[in-house]
Structure 1
């Protein structure tokens, strides 16, 4: 039986690797580490199908060291210890440590991760972890502190087109079919930046077409995928597509749509913590100051799910989902912090005005640190007008209230305190 196209085309060297130029391009951080012949432990964080596993295998081949793989889904603490024992016996003096690659490391329990600590710390193994989840939430702090974190991005359009053309030019089976791309928009759209999904779509469309040459059109791609909707997803569940639909239904104030996609995730065996985290993010990003209680409820739902588990956990998740979907919406806090970060990047490390500086020593007081600072609580209404931005930005506005009852009250208060500065 022939291997899947994605496996047949898996790159063996960095020169064949597509995408992630910020990590493996000439002069990039991982490229330099690999070229030096010695790497330290690190975790690759990114969406599915962007080359995490492939990159780990390329590194092992390039360094010519023993390479062990564990899946967090199927491996227990005993498996981890067995691999560490093998790695210890395969370690030679002055050689790079054997590489232990752990796919989906976010699914490892705390005890499994604890069992890795000693081996990573002593250099018995060099750990390469791969995760689709934020490691700050899923990887224990002692292990995370011993690893560098590299973020992989979804593949760009140019990367995906390069992959398609490499596939039809290099794969022996596709070469026989003489594939011609008339249109590629549908393939790129359905792939969502996932190389594996893109190649699965290509293989599906070519395999279902009896003609030679095979002409790929958007209509043909959509027709094939409607007939075989699960064939282009590795696990038969569109993990990231469904969570996207879920969040967009909440953002769009449709509780029916949000509950439907929640049910799809519940039935599909999704990790309840994954759903709960997305609700907390949505409460901050999409509801925000229009209804600050949304964040409290989302956080309470998260806690409840962690306490009661499945199947009852679906109920607080549903409660939070309906509440968020039916709440008024605002992204003013989200837009505000993004604007502030962009402003900091543009203006650099501007000095803190003297009156806002801390003055713990006599010398600092003599230099004017903290001088003329006005303590708000010493004034009527617990407010006194003074400058809180660097001198160069003193008239810059960052937060802009949006048109909803909650923020209208906040806006009125700011105008009452500051006058024209907060008038839109």
Structure 2
């Protein structure tokens, strides 16, 4: 099973057998495995665009993206039925079905997919999972002709390649815990989009303040006003430090609205660079 990393996808360093695929290829069923954030969905959409003959699959009616963790047997049966019908859009070559987190399907949903996957030689099917391929139902796994494992990237080196300084790259890599998507999101400047892992403030390469997600959440919930005040005090203090002080912040989606308001206020005040 080939191993691929997200920075390879971004730079188009893909396996030769994927690059050589044509829309007429018989190889139309892919299984991608790997930890969160390594690029499974990114690669899946790129392949779907190639097979469908479209520029943007997210705008294509015939591209169906399903998170299996949120769907039940009825949705899977509807997909199976849809796969038997020709595309409604005459401008696309085929339909494409992307099944994210396929390991979350129940036994009945898995059984509902087996026959369509076996018989459908027209449409594209791509399944993604953060679990090892061997943990999937054996019959389901066998329906996918091409298995690709996307390995956990060297997060720090990718961040450095993206222009982060060494201190910020070290901090973000530590916080991301192997999730490159989280690490890269830490540099977007969009606090609402950061999925996250905790908080670290780095000054001159040394961690000045570090909070795990659990401690950050516990403090915010226990006394949100005290938490905001103490954090703003820390940010105010750091404003007096050298301009190259690196501040990296990520927020857990579990945090309450006060935490998001805090980040927005700190950014408006010029105290925080996310």
TM-score by length of 2: 0.58
After superposition, the C-alpha distances for 1:59-118 in whole angstroms (9 at most, x for unaligned) are 12232363111111111111112223333333489x854221111101101110111112
Q: Residue in 1 aligned with 2:137?
A: 140
State the alpha-carbon separation in 1 of the partners of residues 252 and 191 from structure 2: 17
Contact 1:186 1:222 in 2 (8 A): no
Query: Residue 46 of structure 1 contacts residue 153 of structure 1 at CA under 8 Å; is this kept in 2?
Result: yes
By relative contact order (CA 8 Å, sep 6+), the higher-ranking structure is 2
Counterpart contact for 2:65–2:97, Cα < 8 Å: yes
- 2:70 match: secondary structure: coil
Residue 151 of structure 1 aligns to a residue whose secondary structure is strand
Q: CA deviation at 1:217?
A: 5.9
Query: C-alpha separation between the residues in 2 aligned to 1:221 and 1:28?
Result: 46
In structure 2, C-alpha distance between the alignment counterparts of 1:37 and 1:158, rounded to whole Å: 37
Q: Is the 8 A contact 1:49 1:197 kept in 2?
A: yes
CA distance in 2, matches of 1:221, 1:188: 17
Q: Is 2:187 the partner of 1:202?
A: yes
1:121 partnered with 2:105: no
Whether the aligned pair in 2 keeps the contact of 1:100 and 1:128 (CA below 8 Å) is: yes
How far apart are the structure 2 equivalents of 1:98 and 1:160?
36
- Whether 1:83 and 2:79 are equivalent positions in the alignment is yes
Partner of 2:37: 49
- Cα shift readout 1:319-362 (whole Å, capped 9, x = no counterpart): xxxxxxxxxxxxxxxxxxxxxxxxxxxxxxxxxxxxxxxxxxxx
Aligned to 1:181: 165
Query: What are the equivalent positions in structure 2 for 1:237-248 lying under 5 Å apart?
Result: none
CA spacing shift, 1:89–1:205, aligned 2, 3 Å: closer
Matches within 5 A, 1:25-424: 25=13, 27-33=15-21, 35=22, 38=25, 39-64=27-52, 66-91=62-87, 97-123=94-120, 125-137=123-135, 139-147=136-144, 148-156=146-154, 157-162=156-161, 164-165=162-163, 181=165, 183=167, 184-203=169-188, 218-219=205-206, 223=210, 228=216, 232=250
Contact kept in structure 2, 1:205 and 1:220, CA below 8 Å: no
Structure 1 CA distance for aligned equivalents of residues 29 and 204 of structure 2: 44
Residue by residue over 1:361-410, the C-alpha shift from the partner in whole angstroms, topping out at 9 and shown as x without a partner, is xxxxxxxxxxxxxxxxxxxxxxxxxxxxxxxxxxxxxxxxxxxxxxxxxx
Pairwise CA RMSD: 3.8
Higher strand share: 2
Structure 2, gaps ≥5 residues long: 1-5, 54-61, 193-201, 219-248, 256-274
**Structure 1 CA distance, aligned partners of 2:191 and 2:97?**
37
Q: Secondary structure at the match of 2:157?
A: helix
Taking structure 1 as the reference length, the TM-score comes to 0.39
Residue 192 (structure 1) shift: 2.8
Structure 1 unpaired stretches of 5+: 1-16, 166-179, 208-214, 238-424
Task: Please say which structure displays the higher CA radius of gyration.
Answer: 1
What is the CA distance between 1:193 and its match in structure 2?
Answer: 3.0
